[in-house]
């Protein structure tokens, strides 16, 4: 696997990009998991082009490549399994960095921590000790495109899971 950090040619504090677009890109990627975690796939789908591509690199397992409807169905299926198991997915993103921004395309990366919260572990006293633990860490690399409606969307992305105990996607 090649390194994610290919931004060494430009200073991370450099200017010269469209600030309005940058803010839209940051908002899009900070919102990436909110529709999924909320089980709101109408909101989640609007973050993508009509025929997105997702490649999942899961340490020790076969690489999975999902496109279009297969992509949507797979992620809706993952979320449905969580609901059936009374698990509330909690995705925490950090270290968001726009690596490249052009007029209609951009590349960005983000770290993701996954905490599957079992809703049975909460009562009137609060959340039971030990109920929240990180079960997966990953790095996402997004290829974004700006549509004719001037909204940024995810066209393609890859998820690279770290080689740790990854479960309850």
Ordered by where they begin, the domains of the chain are: 19-161 (3.10.450.50)
Question: Each residue of 3-12: b (16+ CB within 10 Å) or e?
Answer: ebeeeeeeee
Q: Is 128 in contact with 115 (CB distance < 8 Å)?
A: no
**Cα distance between residue 115 and residue 124, in whole Å:** 21
What pLDDT digit, counting tens, does each position of 13-26 carry? 777 789 999 999 99
Between 123 and 104, name the one with better pLDDT. Answer: 104
Long-range pairs for 12-21: beta carbons < 8 A, 24 or more residues apart: 12/97, 17/98, 17/101, 18/101, 18/103, 21/101, 21/106, 21/146, 21/152
- Residue 169 CA to residue 33 CA, distance in Å, equals 12
pTM of the model: 0.84
pLDDT exceeds cutoff 90 at 128: no
In this predicted model, what pLDDT tens digit does every residue of 31-75 receive, in sequence order?
Answer: 998 889 999 999 999 999 999 999 999 877 899 999 999 999 999
Question: Average pLDDT, stretch 99-107?
Answer: 94
Mean pLDDT across 125-139? 77
């Amino acid at each position: 696997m090649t390194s994610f950090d290919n931004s060494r040619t430009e200073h991370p504090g450099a200017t010269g990009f469209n600030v309005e677009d940058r803010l839209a890109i940051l908002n899009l990627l900070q919102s990436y998991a909110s529709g999924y975690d909320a089980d709101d796939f109408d909101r989640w789908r609007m973050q993508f082009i009509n025929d997105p591509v997702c490649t999942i690199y899961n340490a020790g397992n076969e690489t999975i490549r999902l496109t279009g409807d297969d992509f949507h169905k797979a992620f809706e299926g993952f979320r449905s399994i969580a609901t059936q198991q009374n698990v509330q997915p909690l995705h925490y993103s950090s270290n968001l960095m726009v690596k490249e921004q052009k007029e209609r395309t951009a590349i960005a990366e983000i770290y993701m921590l996954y905490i599957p919260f079992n809703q049975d572990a909460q009562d009137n006293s609060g959340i039971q000790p030990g109920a929240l633990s990180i079960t997966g860490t990953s790095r996402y690399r997004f290829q974004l495109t700006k549509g004719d409606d001037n909204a940024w969307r995810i066209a393609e992305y890859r998820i690279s899971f770290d080689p740790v105990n990854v479960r309850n996607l």
